[in-house]
Amino acid sequence: MNSMHTLLLLMLLYPLEGLSGQTGQVAGQQLNLMPIPAELTPGEGRFRLADDFTITVSGPASDRAYNGATRMLRRLSGRTGLFFHQDFIGPDDTASTAPLELKWSRAGQVILGENESYTVEVTADYITLSTETDIGILRGLETLLQLLAADREGYYFPAIRIEDTPRFPWRGLLIDVSRHFMPVDVIKRNLDGMAAVKLNVLHWHLSENQGFRVESKTYPKLHQLGSDGLYYTQEQIKDIIAYADARGIRVMPEFDIPGHATSWLVAYPELASAPGPYTIERKFGVFDPTMDPTRETTYAFLDAFFKEMSALFTDQYLHIGGDEVEGSQWEANADIQAFMREHQLSDNEALQSYFNQRILKILTKYDRKLIGWDEIFHPTMPTNIVIHSWRGQKALGEAAKQGYQGILSNGYYIDLIQPTDYHYLNDPIPPQTDLTVKEQASILGGEATMWAEFITPETIDSRIWPRLAAIAERLWSPADVRDVDDMYRRLDVISFQLEELGLTHDKNYPMMLRRLTSNTDIEPLKVLVDVIEPVKIYNRPMQREYTSYSPMTRTVDAARADARVARNFRRLVDEYLNERKAHPATGRRFLGFGRKGRSEKVDEMVTWLELWEANHARLKVIIDQSPVLKEIETLSADLASSATLGLEALKFLEAGKTASPRWVEGKRNVIKAARKPRGQVELMVTTAIDALVKAAGGVLPD
Amino acid sequence: MNSMHTLLLLMLLYPLEGLSGQTGQVAGQQLNLMPIPAELTPGEGRFRLADDFTITVSGPASDRAYNGATRMLRRLSGRTGLFFHQDFIGPDDTASTAPLELKWSRAGQVILGENESYTVEVTADYITLSTETDIGILRGLETLLQLLAADREGYYFPAIRIEDTPRFPWRGLLIDVSRHFMPVDVIKRNLDGMAAVKLNVLHWHLSENQGFRVESKTYPKLHQLGSDGLYYTQEQIKDIIAYADARGIRVMPEFDIPGHATSWLVAYPELASAPGPYTIERKFGVFDPTMDPTRETTYAFLDAFFKEMSALFTDQYLHIGGDEVEGSQWEANADIQAFMREHQLSDNEALQSYFNQRILKILTKYDRKLIGWDEIFHPTMPTNIVIHSWRGQKALGEAAKQGYQGILSNGYYIDLIQPTDYHYLNDPIPPQTDLTVKEQASILGGEATMWAEFITPETIDSRIWPRLAAIAERLWSPADVRDVDDMYRRLDVISFQLEELGLTHDKNYPMMLRRLTSNTDIEPLKVLVDVIEPVKIYNRPMQREYTSYSPMTRTVDAARADARVARNFRRLVDEYLNERKAHPATGRRFLGFGRKGRSEKVDEMVTWLELWEANHARLKVIIDQSPVLKEIETLSADLASSATLGLEALKFLEAGKTASPRWVEGKRNVIKAARKPRGQVELMVTTAIDALVKAAGGVLPD
């Protein structure tokens, strides 16, 4: 894979005659592919789209390819408004004159390691997409859709040749539907989003303390008593598996055992290590209830259960969770303690490993491979299991050295509201790895985890997207594709394109602001929320106790990870201060804001700071009518006062004067106070303003 | 029902201390109930909401009431951000201290004519909602949610007493899922919207030339060959019926026979009146294929089919369509002609009536009542059928006089993009009716019809909402509730509240504009689309041929019925010209736009006109990058030039001068040209600008 070659080519501007964006951009166009393909060669000319555009197919019968092509045609039509003549593409669409030809050699299987490669060739006159499997066809069609461009003459594909293949075979998204249930349409639209960025595993976290989400015909009390009526019927599960399969995506179920299992025990307390009754857990955290691994009845139950689930779910892998077994029920149970002594199980880990070995036997019987979280990694386990690491590359690497395959989720916890570049630069095989090539091959890929303590169907998309697209690139593209600025540039485009799939990450934002303001003018609230983010990592539940029925409609829920306006402002300040460092100011006169002679960067900073400075007065009027906003009133005031400080600092800097240490210290204390989260949200521009204040005092960043 | 009393009370301002909207509204608050209740008495004080708010239930076991109360609690929590302590409300929630008490006497049945009345009493200390049935509980909970208000101290319900009952027992929405398929989630969110405005019938138009949308186990080829894979499984249908039942909504299926039946004949050509094969129809209109009503095999088929459907669908009524039987296949078929002679069936209507009588027997056997469109009304039919009138009140009245029950849809065709007030003032029993009281009682209500030629899951909500809320009021509220201005005022609020149910009528608008502009600045396009509407009635397909896979993502699809900005501008111009008529100008000096001394109305008109005048230059830049917008380029230019004329006319008027007839004629010709639809959309402010131009020439409106 000649990936440096690829990167350099992507930097090339495709010339675009006569187009000038109203935002003053250069008359040019860049490719906006995500993930970036392995190899790419620009060509000459443009393939023009018109109503007479058609697709021809050539390959063994494949509904996956036919339906994928039909969906692609609809999306093209949706974007361009062109009235294509083809209705549903099928085996009869073999006209040799059709401008887009899809060629595949065999039907693919939606299994780990299947060939997903494709070659796209676009010329001015025709397009060919050729692959080994029909799954490759899907991947290539998504690339084509990302290539669509426009000029005054109409829509076109730029001439290009792409040869592409994924770096890792396991590229997944975990969706936790247990802590908050997600209806079928939420899963489906996210499967469409996953397909758009070439992900290939939906890891479906189906059971938890807070809910058991699958209809079981063998043990119907599981869904009847363990789900509050919120579960998937087996028909719905089959429907989702078929939907995913049509998009080349595996659906791997997770049933988390022996811990995280309260909802099972509501229905079947006899499985527990302590007497019941149990009720569905409404809070979040790690809880005592754990299955009893010492009783044969537990295994008889799980055998029949996994027999049913192995028939329902088609994936080769079945995830048994295995994380965070709390242990207190085991320690308090004399029978269990006696069992451990009898079987020479020295500690809880050994007991859990005994349990896992029993489960492995059951799964093997039903032709399923076992995967579980780090905790299942134990010297007594055979190496034919897969380790799913929430602990990190080190744990994964150690397992690899001992012959275990593994996937990474540490660093991809998108529920923790960290910025995109953090996830993007997190590599399952870091550049400095000490693993041998063979050991590296056992690192299968990774999965982003959408844990569901703080999401609902209304907000889940905004937590997944667009950040997941960057993780998808990490897992598909060559390892040296690591340009953060270019990633962010492309991410904006991809994020917008994802909307056509019904994803709500953008459109629910103003809707939530309307609700927060009782449908008055949302603009002042938007100005604030554009520069705040929910608190990170595990701070949200630290600051307030939540249950599974707490409102998820507050400012913190409308706020989004990696707030773009704030990020761009921070970057602007960085660039400005770096420039000053390179070219120190020399006592020039302050020109006044809004006057000629001031740099564009200063103009832009001033525009933002003045907007924020004036915003609180406007927002205050709305807060007074919307009690739900009361919790962020002082935060809004702090944004205004921080902005004032930023403007003052800029005056010093632009006048070439230096502020006194006392001034700097006083102002920095104000900013420090502004940093304090309120309502579980925090201002994301205080660091940048603090840097301006420090610089006003003569201290530029390192 | 003392409805005048109600109306007057609604006009009263509820005092609201210290609140002043930033839009300069009076410090006050009006009730925003829709539909307006039958009787209403304001009280003293406010019931304040806090985290400790709880609900208690008192009545025979009713999941409908428990789950309805739980949903209401979640929506309250969602709007207020309050962390209520109750999770799921159930039979054990009987604490006598709970501030909101729900009391019902019996479980209701979701059947025509069931009691839906309720009484709500809100005091400063407690709220009671008491009803005969648990369906009344649902209706009352929606009213409570509409009463929620806020002031600086927090959220509250104003003290009030409401006694409410519907005027008509049949208040429905028809959704055509055949011409474009609508997935389960689309149906569910619209059921939630219907419940919010107290509608009680989903009329599900399930078969058409373009698609057969129900899984049939008796005749599986129906859905296998007649649906392109787009159909509801029986499990999904049961799920939707249960979902509707939980919201007090009947689900009435329609299987349109013997015409509109191409999709049946794809699977079973032997049912047709002419030899096959048939293919699924992709165009729209009235087509030849019709079932053969002369063969016993047709009835044997339909008997088994309706047996299956009567077991699947629980509603008492089954709609057999019966409209627009085209007749040409019958006329060309010698056997059918012979049959008609033999049975003395003088014309196609008589033959269809013969068919209908046979179907009536089948439905009666399966305990179903027959309903069909106007065409089933024939002297040979018994009076125990229901006439569904697309023809109008006259046809309905004639049927009523002959003893038939009926419902109205004429005037409620929301697919035809007519303004809300047109639908709102359309009454199943018009004020001037000549029907006796008894005959009036046979007018059961009405249904809005969401025909699906031009909608997709992305746009359907914007065609249904918010206009359907006004139709819901027509069918629920007293007949003399007819204040159009007040309806529009409340409609804005209700439209906003409907968003919390997941409806996309507002949030998909900017999303569609983003797609049309390839995600550049949408503002200039929004300025234009805010004052255009799709062409009305049947003009859209007259101007361009559509198929079921044509793109529904163009400007015409983003544009919405009854464009609010345009409506408000027209009203502003009306008011201004009426004022001038009352107080003719007397040669005063033109003060210049933007100067003191000019009326607020002139200011507002000028602001809009200047915005539109300047908009084309901004939009042109975007059109040049978005070929899909090319079709509305001249329309955008015409908005600008019309706006210029409006400004010129205002200069005359404000200067007290009169424009020459020649000037007026020239300008009116320009406006006439601007009125021409392009891209199936039309400007909705040209009439108002034309009125300004005429007035500038000295001719004020009548």
Alpha-carbon dihedral A239, A245, A247, A249, rounded to 10 degrees: 110
Closest Cα in chain A to B49: A627
- What confidence category does residue B14 fall into, taking pLDDT thresholds of 50, 70 and 90? very low
B23/A521 touch (CB, cutoff 8 Å), yes or no: yes
Q: Which residues contact A475 (CB under 8 A, 6 or more apart)?
A: A35, A166, A167, A168, A170, A171, A199, A428, A445, A446
A78/B496 touch (CB, cutoff 8 Å), yes or no: no
Nearest to A152 among B184, B499, B624 (CB): B624
Residues in A touching B282 (Cβ below 8 Å):
87
The tens digit of pLDDT for each residue in A89-129 reads 999 999 888 999 999 999 999 999 999 999 999 999 999 99
**What span, in angstroms and rounded, lies between the C-alpha atoms of B389 and B322?**
11
Nearest to B551 among A77, A150, A515 (CB): A77
Q: Which of B324, B458, B499, B633 is catalytic?
A: B324
| Helix B686-696 vs helix B564-582: crossing angle, to nearest 10 | 20
A521/B624 touch (CB, cutoff 8 Å), yes or no: no
Residues in B touching A519 (Cβ below 8 Å):
492-493, 496
Rounded to the nearest angstrom, the minimum Cα separation between B236 and chain A is 9
A622/B519 touch (CB, cutoff 8 Å), yes or no: no
Residues in A touching B519 (Cβ below 8 Å):
492-493, 496
Q: Mutating which of B16, B29, B515 best tests the A interface, going by the most A Cβ atoms within 10 A?
A: B515
Q: Mutating which of A70, A518, A543, A555 best tests the B interface, going by the most B Cβ atoms within 10 A?
A: A518
Q: A147, A115, A141: which is closest to A128 by C-alpha?
A: A141
Nearest to B507 among A82, A492, A508 (CB): A508
Across B76-87, average pLDDT: 97
Side chain identity, residue A59: G
Residue B384 pLDDT exceeds 90 = yes
Least confident of A138-147, A193-202, B319-328: B319-328
Residues in B touching A554 (Cβ below 8 Å):
81
Least confident of B132-146, B578-592, B646-660: B578-592
Closest Cα in chain B to A88: B228
Side chain identity, residue B483: D
- What confidence category does residue B582 fall into, taking pLDDT thresholds of 50, 70 and 90? confident
SS3 of residue B435 by DSSP: coil
A551/B21 touch (CB, cutoff 8 Å), yes or no: no
Closest Cα in chain A to B235: A235
Rounded to the nearest angstrom, the minimum Cα separation between A156 and chain B is 11
B502/A87 touch (CB, cutoff 8 Å), yes or no: no
Q: Is A173 left (phi over 0), alpha (psi -120 to 50) or beta?
A: beta
Rounded to the nearest angstrom, the minimum Cα separation between A91 and chain B is 15
Q: Which pLDDT value is given to residue B30?
A: 81
Rounded to the nearest angstrom, the minimum Cα separation between A492 and chain B is 9
Q: Which pLDDT value is given to residue A590?
A: 52
**What span, in angstroms and rounded, lies between the C-alpha atoms of B580 and A64?**
67
Q: Which pLDDT value is given to residue A583?
A: 76
Nearest to B183 among A78, A87, A185 (CB): A185
Rounded to the nearest angstrom, the minimum Cα separation between B545 and chain A is 10
Show the tokens assigned to B385: 């059928």
Summarize chain A as % helix, strand, coil (round to 5): 45, 15, 40
The tens digit of pLDDT for each residue in B228-264 reads 999 999 999 999 999 999 999 999 999 999 999 999 9
The tens digit of pLDDT for each residue in B425-442 reads 999 999 999 999 999 999
Residues in A touching B228 (Cβ below 8 Å):
88
Q: Which of A163, A324, A326, A648 is catalytic?
A: A324
Q: Which pLDDT value is given to residue A97?
A: 86
Mean pLDDT of chain A: 93
Q: B282, B302, B281, B279: which is closest to B291 by C-alpha?
A: B302
**Half-sphere exposure of B146 toward its Cβ, with a 13 Å CA cutoff?**
30
Closest Cα in chain A to B679: A81
The tens digit of pLDDT for each residue in A517-540 reads 999 999 999 999 999 999 999 999
Residue B1 pLDDT exceeds 60 = no
Residues in B touching A513 (Cβ below 8 Å):
none
Nearest to B518 among A88, A150, A553 (CB): A150
Burial class (CB in 10 A: 0-12, 13-18, 19+), B644: middle
B508/A507 touch (CB, cutoff 8 Å), yes or no: yes
Rounded to the nearest angstrom, the minimum Cα separation between B497 and chain A is 8
Rounded to the nearest angstrom, the minimum Cα separation between A40 and chain B is 24
Least confident of A26-35, B296-305, B644-653: A26-35
Q: Which pLDDT value is given to residue B470?
A: 98
A21/B520 touch (CB, cutoff 8 Å), yes or no: yes
**What span, in angstroms and rounded, lies between the C-alpha atoms of A588 and B153?**
52
Closest Cα in chain B to A554: B81
The tens digit of pLDDT for each residue in B480-511 reads 999 999 999 999 999 999 999 999 999 999 99
Q: Which pLDDT value is given to residue A18?
A: 29
Residue B589 pLDDT exceeds 60 = no
Q: Which residues contact B382 (CB under 8 A, 6 or more apart)?
A: B360
Residue A70 pLDDT exceeds 80 = yes
Nearest to A87 among B184, B282, B500 (CB): B282
Alpha-carbon dihedral A313, A315, A317, A320, rounded to 10 degrees: -20
Residues in A touching B504 (Cβ below 8 Å):
507
- What confidence category does residue B5 fall into, taking pLDDT thresholds of 50, 70 and 90? very low
Annotation marks residue A324 as catalytic: yes
Q: Which pLDDT value is given to residue A593?
A: 56
Please count the residue pairs, one from chain A and one from chain B, whose beta carbons lie less than 8 angstroms apart.
Answer: 154
Mean pLDDT of chain B: 93
**What span, in angstroms and rounded, lies between the C-alpha atoms of B130 and B146?**
17
Residues in A touching B628 (Cβ below 8 Å):
79-81
- What confidence category does residue B609 fall into, taking pLDDT thresholds of 50, 70 and 90? very high
B515/A79 touch (CB, cutoff 8 Å), yes or no: yes
A499/B515 touch (CB, cutoff 8 Å), yes or no: yes
Across A401-422, average pLDDT: 97
Do A158 and A149 meet the contact criterion of CB atoms below 8 Å apart? Answer: yes
A628/B235 touch (CB, cutoff 8 Å), yes or no: no
Nearest to A496 among B155, B282, B514 (CB): B514
The tens digit of pLDDT for each residue in A430-488 reads 999 999 999 999 999 999 999 999 999 999 999 999 999 999 999 999 999 999 999 99
Q: What percent of chain A is predicted at pLDDT more than 70? A: 94
Rounded to the nearest angstrom, the minimum Cα separation between B378 and chain A is 40
Q: Mutating which of B499, B525, B678 best tests the A interface, going by the most A Cβ atoms within 10 A?
A: B499
Nearest to B77 among A88, A282, A551 (CB): A551
Residues in A touching B502 (Cβ below 8 Å):
457-458
Across B95-118, average pLDDT: 96
**Which DSSP category does A310 fall into?**
H
The tens digit of pLDDT for each residue in A167-178 reads 999 999 999 999
Residue A595 pLDDT exceeds 90 = no
Nearest to A235 among B87, B233, B521 (CB): B233
B81/A628 touch (CB, cutoff 8 Å), yes or no: yes
Across A572-580, average pLDDT: 93
Compute the C-alpha angle B408/B410/B413, nearest 5°. 115
Show the tokens assigned to A327: 């242990």
Residues in A touching B66 (Cβ below 8 Å):
none
Q: Mutating which of B53, B284, B553 best tests the A interface, going by the most A Cβ atoms within 10 A?
A: B553
Q: Which pLDDT value is given to residue A582?
A: 83
**Which DSSP category does B347 fall into?**
S
- What confidence category does residue A20 fall into, taking pLDDT thresholds of 50, 70 and 90? very low
Across B613-633, average pLDDT: 97
Q: Which pLDDT value is given to residue B153?
A: 95
Residue B28 pLDDT exceeds 50 = no
Alpha helices in B12-86 (DSSP H): 63-80
